[in-house]
Amino acid sequence: MTYRDDYLNDKIQDPFDRIRQPFKRFLHIESSGGILLIIATILALIVANSEWGNHYETFFKQEFRIGTEDFYLSESIIHWINDGLMAIFFFLVGLEIKRELLVGELSSPKKAALPIIAAIGGMVIPAMIFVFTLGDGLGKEGWGIPMATDIAFSLGILSLLGKRVPLPLKVFLVAFAIVDDIGAIVVIALFYSHEIHWTFLIIALTLIAFLFVLNKLNIRYIPFYMVTGWIVWFLFLHSGIHATIAGVLLAFTIPSARKIELKDFSFRIKRNLKDFEDNPHTDNVALQHSQLAAIDNMQSQIYKIQSPLQQLEHNLHGFVTYLVMPLFAFANAGVVLKSSGVDTFNILTLTISSSLVFGKIVGIFLFSYLTVRLGFSALPDNVNWEHIFGAGILGGIGFTMSLFISNLAYENIGLLRGVVENQAKLGILMGSLIAALFGYLYLRFVFSRNTVKVKIKVKS
């Protein structure tokens, strides 16, 4: 086979790689995103505790207006980030959940049993530890904080371990983290929303229902869904239900069906490439009309093979991973370690950090063990109980969702809000850091020991 044939084969296969291997791309982006989150967090801590601390806090409290003089929406910068940009984050989470329910690890009861039950354990046990430890103490509203797992951070830690990590373990971690996100969304909707204004909510839900009808009619025009989605977000913002929930609901209205089948796509692409090649090049600048027609046809087929759901998920990952999440981290992770004689580290801090670390380990491992032993599910291939224990440790990296829930939990506690939020955020950062370091060191030891055993067996 000539170099030219190899080149053409690579070009033909590229669309299939994008279609058949979205999970590998997802892992790559989330892993690098975890590193960005760490950098943003460190910067926030440095700035908040420096001479620029007051400017840092004042900047994010500034009002920012969007609209005209007669019709506008004015919110503080921190609210635009937490209610606006994070709605896009939750929209992406919703797309991922829908994909997993349709074709991923949550698409069948047998596949879904282990990560679902593991995630339930990883939510219930940390919340119970928090409630039993803190009782009626200051900050009790934050019981939902340790229930969360940050998928970007946890996958970032796994990526540091290289190719020794079995792919089924990564899949398990992603699957239970996504179920964890579903749980966090339910908790936010039920327990951390304000007084409901039914007029706004009913109009918003009517628009959501209308989009579901368009989905059933196979209307795939993405801009229409997006424009309607922003209207729904605005209505949710004034309804009392947290605006980010609109992002999740909108994601479930996005069509997931392709316009053409893979076999038809392959045939049409090859035929158009042949038409392109059969026409000789007349110069180095202009293509023939038949060649331009072949290119247009291929672009049309590439558009048709991607479902709107997959296309949006593919396009939004970079924006959310490299901009939205680091910006959220920088705006929310700025814990003031010492302020006005008030200790930041206290019982609330310790409760959150211990609930994240120990609660996640016990909950994820214990519930996974029970569901396998009772015969409801089985361990994935090439994954053992040591791996599940390590995944349970990494589940204690709460960070993004935990910070988000802490903002909602302490929004209405009055004058002590700033103090309590600082204590809670320090607990989140401590717990997440301990889980990250312990999880990395533990799994590194496990994988290194297994590698040595394999080498010894090979030599013998």
- Report if residue 57 sits inside a domain: yes
DSSP assignments along 222-255, one per residue: HHHHHHHHHHHHHHHHTTSS-THHHHHHHHTTS-
At residue 115, the 3 state secondary structure works out as helix
Instruction: Over range 314-329, report the average pLDDT.
Output: 89
420: domain CATH number is: 1.20.1530.10
| pLDDT beyond 90 at 71 | no
Count CA atoms within 13 Å of residue 283 on its CB side: 3
Which pLDDT score is estimated for 11? 47
Per-residue pLDDT tens over the stretch 91-101:
998 898 888 88
- Which run of H or E residues covers position 76? strand 72-76
Q: Is 82 exposed, middle or buried (0-12, 13-18, 19+ CB in 10 A)?
A: buried
| pLDDT beyond 60 at 67 | yes
Per-residue pLDDT tens over the stretch 139-156:
999 999 999 898 878 877
Measured CA to CA, the distance from residue 114 to residue 387 in angstroms comes to: 14
Higher-pLDDT residue of 166 and 357 is 357
| Length of the chain in terms of residues written | 460
- Report if residue 181 sits inside a domain: yes
Structural domain boundaries, residue 310: 3-193+242-258+306-459
- Report if residue 300 sits inside a domain: no
| pLDDT beyond 60 at 341 | no
At residue 378, the 3 state secondary structure works out as coil
Per-residue pLDDT tens over the stretch 345-372:
789 999 999 999 999 999 999 999 999 9
Which pLDDT score is estimated for 23? 54
- Report if residue 274 sits inside a domain: no
Query: pTM of the full predicted structure?
Result: 0.77
Which pLDDT score is estimated for 460? 52
| pLDDT beyond 90 at 453 | no
Q: Which residues contact 336 (CB under 8 A, 6 or more apart)?
A: 48, 49, 53, 344, 422
At residue 65, the 3 state secondary structure works out as strand
Which pLDDT score is estimated for 145? 94
Instruction: Over range 113-133, report the average pLDDT.
Output: 94
- Report if residue 273 sits inside a domain: no
| pLDDT beyond 50 at 8 | no
Model confidence band, residue 396 (pLDDT cutoffs 50, 70, 90): very high
Max CA pair span of the chain: 81
Measured CA to CA, the distance from residue 176 to residue 180 in angstroms comes to: 6
Q: How far is CA 287 from CA 276, 283, 290, 292, 293, in A?
A: 10, 8, 8, 7, 10
Measured CA to CA, the distance from residue 258 to residue 21 in angstroms comes to: 16
Domain count, the chain: 1
Count CA atoms within 13 Å of residue 204 on its CB side: 26
- Report if residue 283 sits inside a domain: no
Which range is least confidently modeled, 15-24, 25-34, 165-174, 179-188? 15-24
Residue with tokens 């059969």, as numbered in its chain:
278
- Report if residue 264 sits inside a domain: no
Model confidence band, residue 456 (pLDDT cutoffs 50, 70, 90): low
CA 107 from chain centre, in angstroms, equals 18
Extended strands (E) in 337-405: 338-339, 342-343
- Report if residue 31 sits inside a domain: yes
| pLDDT beyond 90 at 431 | yes
Per-residue pLDDT tens over the stretch 226-283:
999 999 999 998 888 888 889 989 999 999 887 777 777 887 888 888 878 777 666 6
| pLDDT beyond 80 at 420 | yes
Per-residue pLDDT tens over the stretch 194-230:
778 889 999 999 999 999 999 998 888 889 999 999 9
Model confidence band, residue 170 (pLDDT cutoffs 50, 70, 90): confident
Which pLDDT score is estimated for 342? 52
Task: Assess contact for 423 and 348: CB atoms under 8 A.
Answer: yes
Closest CA to 335 of 399, 242, 411: 399
Which pLDDT score is estimated for 19? 45
